[in-house]
Structure 1
Amino acid sequence: MKEIKEIMDMGRRLDELAYETYTLFSKREDFDRPLVAFWAGMAEWKKNHLKHWKKVSRTYVYKNLFNREPEDLKVIIKQLKNIQSEHVEFMRRLRKKRIGQDEAISQTILNEFCLITDIFLEIFYTYDESLQDRSCSFVEDCEMHLVTMANALKPYLKLNPLYAVLLRSIVDLKHKYDFLLTTFGKMKKAAG
């Protein structure tokens, strides 16, 4: 299905942009040292995430676990294109050093928020299910990094409404992942 391939290509591209963003944040001397260290770690995670995208794109078979119509996929593509355009514009300003620390923090949340949408959760989950090595989970790795991100950014987000969005997203991710596991995955197979 060409829409899924396009969505996966866009997910990889968004992660490439996030990797570059975090790398540039980690080199800023005018940002707080703990945040610089946090962004260096996020850049390293994104670098590894990009390796997963290559594996996923070679093996992924769309199963439509959330019963999407073809029109739903077209809407997702349109949304991802908008996110990508906004991120490219952000990168243009970042390269000119026109981004302050508060905006960098907000952009970090926006970068990760778009990658925990249902479609990416489904792609990562299906990829995890296809692996022989069950000791690692792409979805659980993402969830762990979101929690780490929430903890690292918490002192800087006291009045920022994006923090509540981030926390809610983590809870939603966990519930949707549990649904996939109990409906389609290992837990259902173990119970059956």
Structure 2
Amino acid sequence: MTKKSLNSRKAFVKVFVATLLGLGLFFASTAESSLAWLTLSSGPVTNTFESGKINTEIKEQFNKIEKKNISVSNVSDSVPVYVRVMLVFSWVKTDGSAVYPKQPNAEDYNITGLNVGPGPTNWTESVVDGQTVYTYNSILQPGQTAANLIDSITYDQSNAPEGYVLNVDVMAQSVQAYPEQAVIELWGSVPGAASTQEDNK
């Protein structure tokens, strides 16, 4: 039996809605020529009509048997952003040379401290194109880090196919917070808007 381990790979700022890939360097709404950035896997994307750049970073700790304190930081110089995260679970060979054809079931791993709820320091769970996505409910100002999405992910090696270990990819997407119309066009709504309205009643 192989030693318990998690194969940690970060996919910084990857877009997980395939249809958004066709938007190119920027998005402009027809009504207001609203401009927004999407941070892609190749790095920050700059709109030539603006001087700011989006730069977000996945935060986590990993000790080969546990991935913990998963969050996202806005390391941009001047651009406030909204962020959302997708987790991709897979079984991979211990040397990383192959991926098992069947994905892990939810029963194969343990998630503790999933921070989902309506508050401003919580995340909202939704489904986008069949994938579970977690969106932070508040704007991240430059230099800010979101509250943890997850405190800990562990698994039992006995649940893994022989010769394989659990791999957890944390993928993050970010979008410029203003103008809000651009956020709505891209994501369908402004993150946290519903919970904020409830809190203000």
Specify the TM-score bucket, using the shorter chain as the normaliser. under 0.3
Question: 1 or 2 for the larger relative contact order (CA 8 Å, sep ≥6)?
Answer: 2
Higher radius of gyration, 1 or 2? 2
With structure 1 as the length reference, what TM-score do the two structures score? 0.26
With structure 2 as the length reference, what TM-score do the two structures score? 0.25
